[in-house]
Amino acid sequence: MPQFRQLTVLPSGHRRWAGYRTPAMIVLAVILLGLVSVNAQTVVGPREDVPSIDNTTKAAIIDSVSATLNRIYVFPEVAQKMEKHMRKQLKSGAYDDLNNTASFAEKINEELGEISKDGHLWVRYIPSEETERFSPSDTLTDEERLRREQEALRRKEYDNFAFVKAERLSGNVGYLRLDGFMEAKYGGATAIAALNFLAYCDALIIDMRNNGGGEPSMIQLMTSYFFDEPVHLNTFYIRETDSLQQFWTQEQVQGPRMSDVDLYVLTSGYSFSAAEEFTYNLKNLERATIIGETTGGGAHPTDRHVFADLNVAMSCPFGRAINPITGTNWEGTGVEPDIAVPQEQALDVAHLEAMKKLADKATDEEIKQSLLWNIETKETLLNPVTVAPEILQSYVGTYGPRTITFEKGVLLYKRENGPQRQMIPMAEDLFCFEDIDYFRLKVIVDEQGKPVELMGLYAGGHTDVSPRDPDK
């Protein structure tokens, strides 16, 4: 461990997780900055409008990339190794067949990735018309600077600051889907509104499966709701200044804290960067149960650099995360879940786990029975009972205001002018519904096995009966 010359505590709005990640070192991070407008799975290749390139320009690109690496890249020896490789390749003629900036930048990007194994390090081509927006701030007029800020804020507002869904699930379990961490100074009000909406849930599921990263200030703000006292979350070692930068939860929050609420975090292989820090922090603080897949493995804070005259941009990690509990981070390894399941199953598994834990500790008998009811429904949804098609078809008919039909192998239920819903078998004669957590339907048959009425079963114990219409 080096001798640190400085200890800096960052304010909550300070930006350090500079951006988002894509599964295969592709251009989503650039898209989010407005550098290029291509599909995230696209690798920029030769096009007529991409400038041609000669060895002099290739050398200039290598000079610029190497200078940045040697100045700030988190591992100096790796930076030197990458520079040495690029210069050797250029000298040997390995780049001679790359005759435009896009293909050359993509090759450099591929080779740097192979050497560094760093998910935050990339080099990309950007077209000339896009470089103008990255003119140094001190060269802009006040009007142009304000226009840029307003455009950037409008894009964040359009995305609702990456807050996709806040919902109360059955069993009083909250669900929050967050697809990115925007700066708290912009998205803080939205975060506070979402957390306050969910504040009185008995458990909370936070979905990071589509979250590629973002800003530490939002991690600080959100995590502050889950602890009563300030907690040290993370520290960054900054290579260029040989300094440490600490991040702590905030002493005050707007609205109720959720320090005693059971937390669950959903992850996937796409979860990256700041999403991983949020998950890693809560896991090591033993504050949340992680459910899903191992995350992508990017723990380095980054800055972006645009070499406008060369039509090249790069993302360069300038430090490394140091967790105060583990003394290390998740770079290259990802965050392993406590309960490993395919990401598609993570929400259902978390919801079921949350309700089972709440039922085990419930002291209110009415709440306990409600939870047990919902647990049965969730288990059925995960593992539906198989009923012979001929039995299902025998239930088709009209039962007063209720109607059952059979389509494509499943029964469909409809009550008067209500929506049509699929009946999911819990037993041969008992059915639940995916979108109604308080209601089930039981088919009553006579001694010959012929259905004669439907009984509605409600979570509170109430029932009602609808006789079958023999003529329908």
Model pLDDT, residue 181: 97
What is the b/e burial string over 12-26, where b = at least 16 CB atoms within 10 angstroms of the residue's CB? bbbebbbbbbbeebb
CATH of domain 149-302+318-360: 3.90.226.10
- Rounded-to-integer distance, Cα 302 and Cα 134, Å: 17
Q: Where are the domains of the chain?
A: 14-134, 149-302+318-360, 384-467
Q: Given the DSSP bridges, would you call strands 232-238 and 319-322 parallel, antiparallel or unpaired?
A: antiparallel
Q: Specify the amino acid at residue 241.
A: T
CA angle 403, 405, 409 (to 5 degrees): 150
CATH number listed for the domain at residues 384-467:
2.40.128
Of the candidates 56, 100, 65, the one whose C-alpha atom is nearest the C-alpha of residue 84 is: 65
Q: Whose CA is closest to 297, among 28, 14, 25, 80?
A: 25
Q: Is 162 left (phi over 0), alpha (psi -120 to 50) or beta?
A: left
What gap in Å lies between CA 221 and CA 209, rounded to an integer? 20
**Cα Dmax for the chain:** 92
- Our measurement of the distance from residue 55's CA atom to the centroid of its chain's CA atoms, rounded to an integer in Å, reads 41
The answer to whether the beta carbons of residues 16 and 216 sit under 8 Å apart is yes
Residue ranges in 124-234 assigned as alpha helix (H)? 128-131, 142-158, 184-197, 216-223
Q: How many other β-carbons are positioned within 10 Å of the β-carbon of residue 145?
A: 14
d(CA 158, CA 174): 24
359 φ/ψ angles, rounded to the nearest 5 degrees: -65, -40
Strand partners, 453: 444, 467
Distance CA 301, CA 319 (A): 6
319 CB-near residues (< 8 Å, 6+ apart): 16, 74, 236, 237, 238, 239, 245, 300, 301
- Residue 186: what residue type? Y
Within 318-472, strands assigned E span 319-322, 339-340, 397-399, 402-407, 410-415, 421-427, 430-433, 436-445, 451-458, 463-467
pLDDT at 134: 66
Q: Are the C-beta atoms of residues 227 and 287 closer than 8 Å to each other?
A: yes
User: Which residue stretches of the chain have pLDDT < 70?
Assistant: 1-48, 132-139
Q: 């702590």: which residue's tokens? A: 248
Q: Which two tokens stand for residue 171?
A: 């069993």
Region class of 13: left (phi > 0), else alpha (psi between -120 and 50), else beta: alpha
Query: Are both 149-302+318-360 and 384-467 of the same fold?
Result: no
